Structure 1
Amino acid sequence: MADEVKLLKTWSSLFGLRVVWALKIKGVQYESIDEDLTNKSPSLLLYNPVHKKIPVLVHDSKPVVESLIILEYIEETWKQNPLLPEHPKERAAARFWAKFGDDRVMPSIWEAFIKGREEEEHCAFAPAIENLKFLEEQLKGKQFFGGERIGLVDIALGWLANLIPVLEEIHAIKLMDRERFPLLFAWIQEFSKTPVIADCWPPHEKLVSKYRAIRESLLAAAPPHHA
Structure 2
Amino acid sequence: MDDQEVKLLGVWGSCPSKRVEIALKLKGISYEFVAQDLSNKSPELLEYNPVHKQVPVLLHNGKPICESLVILEYIDETWKSGPSILPEDPHARAVARFWARFIDEKCFPAILRIKRSQGEEEMEKAIEEATELLKTLESELEGKKFFGGDEIGLVDIAGNFVALWLGVMLELVGITLLTEEKFPRLCQWVDDYLNCSIIKETLPAREDLLDRFRAISRWLAKNNR
TM-score bin, normalised by smaller chain? over 0.9
Q: Give the corresponding residue for 2:119.
A: 117
Moved more, 180-189 or 117-126: 117-126
Percent of matched pairs sharing the same residue? 47
Matched to 1:60, the amino acid is: N
Matched to 2:34, the amino acid is: I
- 1:37-73 per-position Cα deviation (integer Å, ceiling 9, x unaligned): 1111121111112221110000001000011100110
Cα distance in 2 for residues equivalent to 1:107 and 1:219: 25
Cα distance in 1 for residues equivalent to 2:20 and 2:200: 14
Q: What's the TM-score once normalised by structure 1's chain length?
A: 0.91
CA contact (8 A) 1:114 1:219 kept: no
- 1:91-128 per-position Cα deviation (integer Å, ceiling 9, x unaligned): 00000000111100100011112225334321111111
Structure 1 pair 147–55 and aligned structure 2 pair: CA distance change class (3 A): same
Q: Give the corresponding residue for 1:19.
A: 20
Q: Give the corresponding residue for 1:59.
A: 60
Match of 1:208 among 207, 210, 217: 210
Question: How far apart are residue 168 of structure 1 and its match?
Answer: 3.5
Query: Structure 1: which 5+ runs fail to align?
Result: 223-227
Cα distance in 2 for residues equivalent to 1:114 and 1:221: 14
Query: Structure 2: which 5+ runs fail to align?
Result: none
How many residue pairs align between the two structures? 222
Cα distance in 1 for residues equivalent to 2:151 and 2:88: 14
Structure 1 pair 179–204 and aligned structure 2 pair: CA distance change class (3 A): same
Matched to 1:192, the amino acid is: L
CA contact (8 A) 1:19 1:70 kept: yes
Matched to 2:79, the amino acid is: W
Cα distance in 1 for residues equivalent to 2:186 and 2:100: 15
CA contact (8 A) 1:21 1:196 kept: yes
Question: How far apart are residue 213 of structure 1 and its match?
Answer: 4.7
Q: What's the TM-score once normalised by structure 2's chain length?
A: 0.92
